Amino acid sequence: MSIKLLLTGGTIDKHYNESNGELDFVETHIPNLLELGRNRSNVNIQQVMLKDSLEMDDADRQTILEACTQAEEAKILITHGTDTIVETAEVLAGKKLEKTIVLVGAMIPFVFKHSDAVFNMGFALGVVQCLPQGVYVAMNGQVFDWNTVAKNREEGIFEGKLSTHPPTFA
Amino acid sequence: MSIKLLLTGGTIDKHYNESNGELDFVETHIPNLLELGRNRSNVNIQQVMLKDSLEMDDADRQTILEACTQAEEAKILITHGTDTIVETAEVLAGKKLEKTIVLVGAMIPFVFKHSDAVFNMGFALGVVQCLPQGVYVAMNGQVFDWNTVAKNREEGIFEGKLSTHPPTFA
Amino acid sequence: MSIKLLLTGGTIDKHYNESNGELDFVETHIPNLLELGRNRSNVNIQQVMLKDSLEMDDADRQTILEACTQAEEAKILITHGTDTIVETAEVLAGKKLEKTIVLVGAMIPFVFKHSDAVFNMGFALGVVQCLPQGVYVAMNGQVFDWNTVAKNREEGIFEGKLSTHPPTFA
Amino acid sequence: MSIKLLLTGGTIDKHYNESNGELDFVETHIPNLLELGRNRSNVNIQQVMLKDSLEMDDADRQTILEACTQAEEAKILITHGTDTIVETAEVLAGKKLEKTIVLVGAMIPFVFKHSDAVFNMGFALGVVQCLPQGVYVAMNGQVFDWNTVAKNREEGIFEGKLSTHPPTFA
């Protein structure tokens, strides 16, 4: 089984810019993360963009959709900023691709000591391998159907209906 | 969906003993790990034992099996030392419980900077939620059927047949 | 020997604000840092302010000077943003206090995995104990006299004349 | 000012051996540690040995003494296991070299998340630059004269008379 890993940026991949003290993007940390996790699953990484999801527009979402459509793999994992992860999921779901698509992000960038990035990526890489076709958001150790999930910005968590596809979630 | 998380020890949970400079067990780090991952899935932790898996005997494996049998949850995740994780998986599989049981460990304890523990636990917590009934070992970002997997001690990896239950692994 | 540790903020103490994805101040990390270092020297911490040093004005520097003047300790360590650390050092030096004053900061906040904060604080806490009266900046594993040091923003380092007070730097 | 950094091993430099789950030595982490601290002081590293200090014998201490004697630098920093750091300090002090010699170690190896190694090395690199001739042990954010210090094994700390050479410790 091959997995396409599409990188789009988001908090998970932000970097500390020493010259101005801000967080921005330079290059992805995801290969380092997978190495830390000693991943040996067959992951094909494609960097689609590195953007804060608040700055993504319709054209960006079409670009992500295009990458999903073009992917030869039936399993697609997408790193994404959490602020508009649901909007992108909706665009992807509209295409009704015969693929399993899981979107994942992090509340704290990988480069911080207390980041949730490693846990989230491990989790998402697991569920994308097991879930049937559909579009999902994986956060907080939970799998959500794309059409029920929402980010609770006050609490910094995701909420919604947990995915329950049989026999997986019997 | 509730998940029973049985702790049995293993490398993942080892601790640095300052007084003698060795690695041993004091108390589990798994709750801290789940907090780091901002887990909000319903995980019920039960500490069955904290042992190096090389020191586990038949009675220990029966204790773990008993904990699986008694668990009300249909989803069971077990932290375990990697050296005899397959032996324990075999004992658990022999009982043919109508449950999803995933065993997971780490090559490097959680307390080390370069540990694979967080990734592995995220991964395993994901797949246990999605896999159908059966006994699996989750390591290296891969899910193995219990009866095909083996630890390659020279390379420090797990190898075997990847689990292929339809429709999950279509 | 008692050491007064004055906290003024700076990069070293910045925090990741999850709600807006920016770096700001909430509470200091310095006590945690000293605990990590198992410090047992007699350090009296006083939080003077928590500011980005680019936002400090003359009044802020007078406040820091006042804290130095009021301190009962003859040894004073000050955490400070690197961008204007030299300006503050100049103000403090102008008062010609009969004290040893060492200013220290970090290029990367403590909360990042690759932070220089812990090394820098260890270094500065060491030199403040050993240096004679004067005002110094401690960065990059080096002690600089306040009146020769400058931040090289392109390279993210400090340069200047190394302090050479005999017999210390014989 | 040049500093000779002699590596002898000790807890600070221990490594996790995946194949047997024990802590041993492979290669030093000290260059990585200095890079993390963005050190730019002139440090000349010489690996004398990589040993647990409980396994050091008289010949080893003579080897370390020889390295101190041969060093062209007047400032010498030595990484050492904490268990016999005082014994080695005594041997070095017996030679009455006209040099500043600081011995340092760690209670927790550098490779652990909660290690004191980075703080200790920063501290020791600072004091070796500032202290007059003599032999010192630097631990717990404190500088001890070699002939008064002892490791308190129950509490995992160093105790003794703090160094008070004027004008440094006025």
Q: How far is Cα C64 from Cα D11, in angstroms, rounded to an integer?
A: 40
- Distance separating the N- and C-terminal Cα atoms of chain D: 24
User: What per-residue string of b and e applies to C2-16 under the rule 16 or more CB within 10 Å gives b?
Assistant: ebbbbbbbbbbbbbb
Which chains form contacts with chain D, at 3 or more CB pairs under 8 Å? B, C
In angstroms, what CA-CA distances link A64 with A13, A15, A72, C88, C144?
A: 17, 22, 14, 49, 51
| Percent of chain C topping pLDDT 70 | 96
Chain A residues with CB under 8 Å of a chain B CB are 1, 33-34, 36-41, 43, 74, 107, 114-116, 118-127, 129-132, 138-143, 156-157, 162, 167-170
pLDDT at residue number B164: 76
Q: What is the 3-state secondary structure (H, E, C) of B140-160?
A: CCEEEECCCCEEECCCCEEEC
| Interacting residues of D57 by C-beta distance below 8 A, sequence separation 6+ | none
Candidates A110, A120, A130: best to mutate against B (most CBs of B within 10 A) is A130
pLDDT band for position D169 (cuts 50, 70, 90): very low
Q: Rounded to 5 degrees, what are φ and ψ at B52?
A: -65, 130
Q: Which residues of B touch D (CB under 8 A)?
A: 11, 14, 16, 18-19, 21-23, 52, 107-109, 111-114, 153, 156
Omega into A166 within 30° of 0, i.e. cis? no
For D3, how many CA atoms within 13 A lie in the half-sphere containing its CB?
25
Separation of alpha carbons A38 and D77, rounded Å: 36
Residue D5 has pLDDT above 60, yes or no: yes
Q: Sign of dihedral through CA atoms A26, A27, A33, A35?
A: negative
What confidence score (pLDDT) does residue C1 get?
87
Nearest CB among C21, C113, C156 relative to A23 is that of C21
Give the residue from A77, A35, A84 showing the smallest Cα distance to A56.
A84
Pick from C19, C114, C153: which is nearest to A19 by CB? C153
Q: Measure the N-to-C terminal CA separation of chain B; round to a whole number of Å.
A: 24
Q: How does pLDDT run across D31-80, given as a tens digit for each residue?
A: 999 999 999 999 999 999 999 999 999 999 999 999 999 999 999 999 99
Separation of alpha carbons A6 and B157, rounded Å: 26
Report CB contact under 8 Å: A141, B43. Answer: yes
Q: Is residue D165 within 8 Å of residue D131, measured between CB atoms?
A: yes
pLDDT surpasses 70 at C155: yes
- Whether A112 and C11 lie within 8 Å, measured CB to CB: no
Residues of C in contact with D170 (CB under 8 A): 74, 132
Cβ separation of C34 and D141 shorter than 8 Å?
A: yes
**A18 to C108: CB separation less than 8 angstroms, yes or no:** yes
Q: D121 and C119: CB-CB below 8 Å?
A: yes
Q: How far is the C-alpha of C142 from the C-alpha of C82, rounded, in Å?
A: 14
CB contact under 8 A, D121 and C121: no
Instruction: Provide long-range contacts, Cβ within 8 A and 24+ apart, for C153-160.
Output: C153/A19, C156/A18, C156/A19, C156/C107, C156/D38, C157/D38, C157/D40, C158/C82
Tokens 């830390």 belong to residue: A36
C-beta neighbour count of B31 within 10 angstroms: 14
Judge whether residue C169 has pLDDT over 60.
Answer: no
Cβ–Cβ under 8 Å, residues D13 and D110: yes
pLDDT in tens, C48-61: 999 999 999 999 99
Task: Tell me what the mean pLDDT of segment A155-166 comes to.
Answer: 84
- Give the model's pLDDT for residue B165: 61
Kindly list the residues of chain B whose beta carbon comes within 8 Å of any beta carbon in chain A.
1, 33-34, 36-41, 43, 74, 107, 114-116, 118-127, 129-132, 138-143, 156-157, 162, 167-170
Contact predicate D104/D124, CB 8 Å = yes
Q: Which residues from C are below 8 Å from D162, CB to CB?
A: 1
Band of residue A158 on the pLDDT scale cut at 50, 70, 90: very high
pLDDT at B167 over 60: no
How many C-D residue pairs are in contact by the CB < 8 A criterion?
143
Rg (CA), chain D: 15
* Model confidence band, residue A11 (pLDDT cutoffs 50, 70, 90): very high
Q: Count Cβ atoms below 10 Å from residue C130 Cβ, excluding itself.
A: 25
Instruction: Please provide residue A69's backbone torsions phi and psi, each rounded to the nearest 5 degrees.
Output: -65, -45
The beta-carbon neighbor of D114 closest among B11, B19, B111 is B111
**Contact A36/B119, CB-based, under 8 Å?**
yes
Complex ipTM value: 0.96
In the block, residue with structure tokens 């080892």: B14
Least confident of A118-122, D110-114, D166-170: D166-170
Helix, strand, or coil (residue B129): helix
Select from B18, B22, B114 the Cβ nearest to the Cβ of D111: B114
Residue range B131-142, pLDDT digits in tens: 999 999 999 999
Interface with chain C: mutation pick from D116, D119, D139, D157, highest number of C CBs within 10 Å: D119
pLDDT of res. C164: 76
Q: What is the DSSP string of A92-127?
A: HHHTT-SSEEEEE--SS-TTBTT-SHHHHHHHHHHH
* CA distance linking residue C14 with residue B1, whole number of Å: 39
Determine the average pLDDT of the residues in A79-95.
97
Full-model pTM = 0.96
CA C121 to chain D, closest CA, distance in angstroms equals 7
Q: Which residues of A touch B145 (CB under 8 A)?
A: none
Question: Considering only alpha carbons, which residue of chain C is nearest residue A81?
Answer: C21
Residues of A in contact with B138 (CB under 8 A): 126
Question: Which residues of chain B make contact with A168, given a CB cutoff of 8 A?
Answer: 129-132, 168
Please name the residue ranges forming H helices in chain D: 30-36, 58-70, 85-94, 117-130
pLDDT of A27 over the 60 cut: yes
The strand pair at A22-24 and A15-17 is best described as: antiparallel
More confident residue, B145 or D164: B145
Kindly tell me if the per-residue pLDDT of A168 is higher than 60. no
User: Residue C42's pLDDT is what?
Assistant: 97
Mutation site for B-interface testing, chosen from D29, D52, D112 by largest number of B Cβ within 10 Å = D112
Q: Which residues of A touch C (CB under 8 A)?
A: 11, 14, 16, 18-19, 21-23, 52, 107-109, 111-114, 153, 156
Dump pLDDT digits (tens) for A49-82: 999 999 999 999 999 999 999 999 999 999 999 9
| Per-residue pLDDT tens over the stretch D69-81 | 999 999 999 999 9
Report the alpha-carbon distance of residue D168 to residue C72 in Å, rounded.
18
